[in-house]
Amino acid sequence: MLIVFLCGAMLSVNGCRSANTQVSLSPTHYTVSAMMLTVSQAGELLLANVTQSNLEDTVKRRYTITTRLPTLHLLPGETEKVETGKTHIYAIDFDADGNPTRHETARDGMTVRSTFSTMQDQQPKLTIAIEHSRIAKWITTPEGNKVPICEIRRVSTTIRANWGEWHNIGKLMANEANKGQVVLVRIDKPNKASSGS
């Protein structure tokens, strides 16, 4: 599910030319990893069915930008959330002397929230929500207050995952100027157990 609306904050992205698909495993907790690939339409088609080979091919394309998202470590039934970026505080109400009396916040950054459980056949059922927020610009109100105009994009889903495999869960951004932001996620067992693939 993709939701786009105004009101919240952005995360800068770093390019790379090799598929850094390594994950940081915990000895006691399950690991949920995610990454965002800004890709061409051709790259997006390649990732419709993710394999290590087409992931490598896509990341090596000249115009692909790869962003690793925060990693979560959790136990079955737990919900964990990680936020990155910066929170901006701005005044929205003032007293007669012009002193601020009430504030609100806007964020530039990324939020990842996930829950998982294991089914009877021991395959993981993963629920994940990723929010990418950015302040598009600041405007000055007729009263002279500076307030942000914000964009928030979200993708969320529940999938029956395979241990140690990347899964395409959708896009954070519709294809614009032949570019789209595809989100991949995976879940791994604690490193004391076999992670499979």
DSSP string, 29-45: SEEEEEEEEEE-HHHHH
The predicted-structure confidence for 147-183, as pLDDT tens digits, reads as follows 999 888 888 999 999 998 999 988 876 545 546 788 9
Choose between 39 and 127: higher pLDDT. 127
20 confidence band (pLDDT: 50, 70, 90): low
Domain residues of the chain, as ranges?
Answer: 2-9+29-188
pLDDT at position 67: 84
Print burial letters for 122-151: b (CB count within 10 Å at least 16), e (below 16).
eebebebbbbbbbbeeeeeeeeeeeebebb
pTM: 0.72
Q: Is the pLDDT of residue 197 over 90?
A: no
Amino acid, single-letter form, for residue 148: P
- Tell how strand 30-39 and strand 179-188 pair up: antiparallel
C-beta of residue 80 within 8 angstroms of C-beta of residue 114: yes
pLDDT at position 80: 93
Strand partners, 152: 5, 133
Average pLDDT for residues 4-9, to the nearest whole number?
A: 28
Chain center to CA of 39: 15
Choose between 92 and 14: higher pLDDT. 92
Residue 10: both structure tokens together: 């952005």
C-beta of residue 96 within 8 angstroms of C-beta of residue 102: no
**Is the C-alpha dihedral spanning 78, 79, 83, 89 positive or negative?**
negative
User: Among all chains, which residue has been given the structure tokens 């994940």?
Assistant: 128
pLDDT at position 28: 87
The predicted-structure confidence for 93-146, as pLDDT tens digits, reads as follows 888 888 889 999 998 888 999 998 988 888 899 999 998 888 989 999 887 888
Residue 6: both structure tokens together: 């105004």
